[in-house]
């Protein structure tokens, strides 16, 4: 539209004068995996953030793609601005995408992330990894590409868990001695007979690098696949990613890990579920701190030489051996923990723009996932294991070391 003396009148939104980022500052996001977490949490969360522009959506389920598109169009009031993909490789090749958010089943986390990094994209990916070896390869790739990478885990942004770690790290309970963690039990799903693949699902792509298996009616449900070893590390790895992170941070171990683990678990017989539904583990760290993990209501308790802190239930009310501890505050400049960050979505966007490290880096994600992986390895082998966090290997244990990795099915790439 022409203005006075031939000058153009520019809309305020283009200059960012309406309080929102101008288009030139938007980070164009693609989403891969649009199930419960991807479509109902990550996507809406990013849509609420300034600087985020959703440009591509991918899922092997047609109905999930279409539902996600409706979510975006309802929020943005725009139609025709988002591309839909069934094959994530096509999304990664889309030159209109700057960064991706990956919310697939666990067996896809690292393979898709590696391909996204090769495509020059920044990545936010859900937790955890599937194996120790692939997690280390991911860390090395992120560093080589100088990419921004964020683990999709909100705990460090939640006041409950930040305060628990802060009190422990700053000596509010004296010297930390024991960490007790309770995590939900797994689900025992009965075996299912093979069934026709429903219309609108690319079953071959859903399986990807996992061992090939006939489609069964509920296998792709979030609770079901989490309990199947070929796709995930069980409920232990799922919920452990949350509460064990706070334990690692409380013990100054977010960049290292335990040195010993011993665990037992109950695995259903002749069932679709192939991971322990109940488990009991004991970890020991180099500083002498012991961590006990049991099935139960998700809760934490940290015990020190002069008191304890903890909570019961996810985001449960904070409790302590004395009210004085609960009211203890620390000068952010002197506290032995970083300031509580914004949510992982805001943090990711800020770091894409600044090129600084995220709240939850690939290295930290690797160290956390390894805690669960070595625990599962102890359960499978039925014995105590010594672990060297520096070399990320089991000490003098060939059988355990072989379980740090597993073969992936490579022929999916021919799809």
What's the CATH fold of domain 156-339+362-414? Dihydrodipicolinate Reductase; domain 2 (3.30.360)
Check: CB of residue 30 under 8 Å from CB of residue 97. Answer: yes
Sequence-ordered strand ranges (E) for 331-407: 385-388, 393-394
Q: How distant is the alpha carbon of residue 205 from its chain centre? A: 21
What are the domain boundaries of the chain? 12-154, 156-339+362-414
Instruction: Compute the 3-state secondary structure of the chain and give helix, strand, coil in percent, each to the nearest 5.
Output: 35, 20, 45
Q: What was the pLDDT predicted at 410?
A: 81
Query: Position of tokens 């666990």?
Result: 106
Distances (CA, A) of 53 to 15, 83, 149, 301: 16, 12, 18, 40
Distances (CA, A) of 68 to 40, 59, 61, 63, 154: 8, 10, 11, 9, 22
Q: What was the pLDDT predicted at 413?
A: 86
Report the C-alpha gap between 71 and 386 in whole angstroms.
Answer: 48
Domain 12-154 has what CATH class?
Answer: alpha beta
Q: What was the pLDDT predicted at 20?
A: 52
Query: Position of tokens 């600087």?
Result: 51
SS3 83: strand
Each residue's pLDDT tens digit, 55-85: 999 999 999 999 999 999 999 999 999 999 9
Distances (CA, A) of 252 to 135, 363, 364: 21, 14, 12
**Among 21, 20, 103, which residue's Cα sits nearest to residue 58?**
103
269 contact partners, CB below 8 Å, separation of at least 6? none
Where helices occur in 79-221 by DSSP H, the ranges are 88-92, 106-118, 132-145, 159-169, 203-207
How many residues can be counted in the chain? 415
**Among 356, 350, 359, which residue's Cα sits nearest to residue 25?**
350
pTM summary value: 0.93
Q: What was the pLDDT predicted at 21?
A: 59
Do 156-339+362-414 and 12-154 have the same topology in CATH? no
Check: CB of residue 271 under 8 Å from CB of residue 188. Answer: yes
- Which of the residues in the chain have pLDDT under 70? 1-24
Please, which residues bridge with residue 292 across strands? 180, 282
Report the C-alpha gap between 405 and 364 in whole angstroms.
Answer: 19
Q: Going by DSSP bridges, is the β-strand pair 299-304/290-295 parallel, antiparallel, or unpaired?
A: unpaired
Q: What was the pLDDT predicted at 23?
A: 57
129 contact partners, CB below 8 Å, separation of at least 6? 106, 109, 110, 135, 138, 365, 366, 369, 373
- Taking only Cα atoms into account, the Rg of the chain, rounded to an integer number of angstroms, comes to 23
């Amino acid at each position: 539209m022409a203005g006075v003396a031939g000058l153009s009148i520019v809309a305020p939104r283009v200059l960012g004068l309406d309080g929102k980022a101008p288009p030139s500052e938007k980070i164009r996001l693609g989403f891969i995996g649009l199930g419960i977490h991807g479509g109902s949490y990550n996507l809406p969360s990013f849509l609420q953030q300034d600087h985020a522009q959703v440009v591509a959506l991918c899922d092997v389920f047609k109905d999930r793609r279409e539902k996600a598109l409706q979510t975006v169009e309802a929020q943005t009031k725009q139609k025709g601005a988002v591309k839909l993909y069934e094959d994530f490789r096509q999304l990664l090749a889309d030159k209109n995408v700057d960064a991706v958010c990956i919310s697939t089943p666990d067996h896809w986390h690292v393979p898709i992330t590696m391909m996204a990094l090769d495509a020059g994209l920044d990545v936010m990916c859900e937790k955890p990894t599937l194996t120790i070896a692939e997690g280390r390869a991911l860390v090395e790739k992120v560093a080589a590409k100088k990419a921004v990478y964020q683990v999709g885990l909100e705990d460090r942004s939640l006041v409950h868990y930040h305060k628990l770690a802060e009190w422990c790290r700053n000596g509010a309970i004296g010297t930390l001695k024991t960490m007790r963690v309770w995590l939900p039990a797994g689900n025992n799903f009965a075996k299912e007979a093979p069934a026709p693949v429903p219309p609108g699902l690319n079953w071959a792509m859903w399986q990807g690098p996992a061992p090939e298996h006939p489609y069964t009616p509920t296998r792709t449900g979030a609770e079901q696949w989490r309990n199947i070893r070929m796709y995930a590390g069980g409920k232990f790895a799922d919920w452990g990613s949350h509460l064990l992170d706070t334990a690692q941070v409380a013990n100054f171990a977010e960049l290292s890990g335990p040195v010993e683990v011993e665990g037992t678990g109950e695995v259903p017989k002749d069932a679709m579920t192939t991971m322990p539904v109940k488990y009991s583990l004991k970890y020991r760290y180099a500083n002498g701190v012991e961590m006990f993990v049991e099935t139960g209501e998700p809760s934490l308790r940290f015990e020190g030489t002069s008191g304890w802190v903890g909570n019961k239930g996810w985001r449960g009310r904070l409790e302590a051996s004395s009210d004085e501890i609960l009211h203890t505050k620390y000068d952010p400049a002197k506290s032995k923990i970083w300031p509580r960050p914004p949510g992982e979505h805001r943090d990711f966007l800020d770091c894409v723009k600044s090129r600084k490290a995220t709240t939850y880096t690939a290295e930290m994600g690797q160290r956390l996932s390894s805690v669960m992986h070595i625990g599962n390895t102890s359960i499978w082998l039925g014995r105590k294991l010594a672990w060297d966090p520096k070399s990320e290997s089991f000490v003098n244990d060939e059988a355990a070391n072989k379980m740090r990795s597993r073969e992936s099915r490579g022929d999916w790439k021919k799809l």
